[in-house]
């Protein structure tokens, strides 16, 4: 007598552990992410065929079509906060601990040091409106009041100090770091329709500070020398 065969059950995969893992990953990235505010100004850069990427630890100077200058510094908030404290001491502009903390989260800004306390108290949208409506002339670069020069000089010093600290921490952990990777990089981003005179003024400021490793941001264009 033939035996009755049992129907074969389809294999089932329990996805519960995978769902748990997914939520754990999302939670990790949310906690580990470094949030930053939006840029206060957008410019249309000229094109080039260079493929160099922008590093993380940079001091970026942006010049818009009208010649207004903006300053941005990336990296750890510690360097930014110490930078503001040095500017505060030189120009005798007091800042509250809350304002200093907000400055550490800024991507960039475009106002004088005298306007900075009110600028920090604004929301992100208010800052953009403040810049877009021309309520500020951005960062002064005149020979008699070159605040940009001080931002660059103090920013360079603070980023070098933080970078040196990170370098030795990496060595203490047994790594073989490259010291140059911990030094700040300097970027100049100029609107493609801006007059060269505006960019020249910023370049001369870097020359006065003996900072020669200045790079330019451009839009990427295909290299005509390479086959498509």
> pLDDT by residue (tens digit) across 174-192?
988 888 888 888 999 998 8
Residue 206 scores a pLDDT above 50 = yes
182 vs 30, higher pLDDT: 182
Model pTM score: 0.73
Q: Which residue has the tokens 């700040």?
A: 184
Residue 45 scores a pLDDT above 80 = no
Quote the tokens at residue 7.
Answer: 């129907």
Angle at 116 between CA 58 and CA 156, to 5 degrees: 25
172 vs 31, higher pLDDT: 172
What are the distances in angstroms from CA 129 to CA 6, 71, 191? 73, 17, 19
Lowest mean pLDDT among 41-45, 87-91, 194-198: 41-45
Highest mean pLDDT among 79-93, 137-151, 204-218: 79-93
What is the pLDDT at residue 86? 97
What is the pLDDT at residue 143? 86
2 vs 159, higher pLDDT: 159
Convert the pLDDT of each residue in 1-27 to its tens digit: 555 555 555 566 666 666 666 766 667
Convert the pLDDT of each residue in 99-121 to its tens digit: 999 999 988 899 999 999 999 99
Residue pair 213/152 in contact by the 8 Å Cβ criterion: no
Confidence of residue 130 (pLDDT cuts 50, 70, 90): confident
Q: Please give, one letter per residue, the 3-state secondary structure of the chain.
A: CCCCCCCCCCCCCCCHHHHHHHHHHHHHHHHHCCCCCCCCCCCCCCEECCCCCCCCCEEEEEECCCCCEEEEECCCHHHHHHHHHHHHHHHCCCCCHHHHHHHHCCCEECCCCCCHHHHHCCCHHHHHHHHHCCCCCCCCEECCEEHHHHHHHHHHHHHHHHHHHHHHHHHHCCCCCCHHHHCCEEEEEECCCCCHHHHHHHHHHHHHCCCCCEEECCEECCCCCCCC
Residue 84 scores a pLDDT above 70 = yes
Residue pair 153/90 in contact by the 8 Å Cβ criterion: no
Rounded-to-integer distance, Cα 54 and Cα 215, Å: 9
Task: Name the residue among 149, 199, 214, 193 with its Cα closest to residue 42.
Answer: 193
Q: Mean pLDDT, the chain, as a whole number?
A: 80
What is the pLDDT at residue 28? 62
Rounded-to-integer distance, Cα 189 and Cα 77, Å: 22
What is the pLDDT at residue 180? 85
What is the pLDDT at residue 98? 96
39 vs 20, higher pLDDT: 20
Confidence of residue 154 (pLDDT cuts 50, 70, 90): very high
108 - beta bridge partners?
72
Quote the tokens at residue 227.
Answer: 């086959």
What is the pLDDT at residue 20? 67
């Amino acid at each position: 007598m033939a035996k009755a065969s049992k129907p074969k059950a389809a294999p089932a995969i329990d996805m519960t552990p995978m769902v748990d893992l997914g939520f754990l990953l999302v939670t990790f990235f949310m906690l580990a992410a470094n949030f930053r505010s939006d840029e206060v100004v957008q410019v249309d850069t000229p094109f080039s065929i260079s493929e160099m990427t922008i590093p993380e630890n940079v001091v970026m100077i942006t010049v818009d079509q009208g010649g207004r200058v903006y300053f941005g510094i990336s990296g750890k908030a510690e360097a930014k906060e110490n930078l503001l404290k040095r500017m505060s001491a030189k120009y005798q502009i007091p800042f509250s601990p809350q304002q200093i903390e907000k400055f550490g989260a800024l991507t960039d800004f475009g106002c004088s040091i005298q306007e900075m306390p009110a600028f920090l108290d604004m929301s992100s949208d208010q800052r953009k409106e403040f810049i877009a409506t021309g309520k500020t002339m951005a960062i002064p670069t005149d020979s008699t009041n070159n605040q940009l020069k001080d931002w660059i000089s103090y920013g360079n010093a603070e980023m070098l100090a933080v970078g040196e600290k990170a370098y030795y921490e990496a060595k203490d952990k047994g790594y073989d770091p490259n010291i140059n990777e911990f030094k700040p990089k300097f970027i100049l981003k100029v609107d493609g329709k801006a007059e060269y005179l505006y960019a020249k003024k910023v370049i001369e400021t870097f020359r006065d500070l003996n900072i020669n490793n200045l790079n330019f941001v451009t839009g990427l264009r295909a290299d005509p020398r390479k086959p498509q």
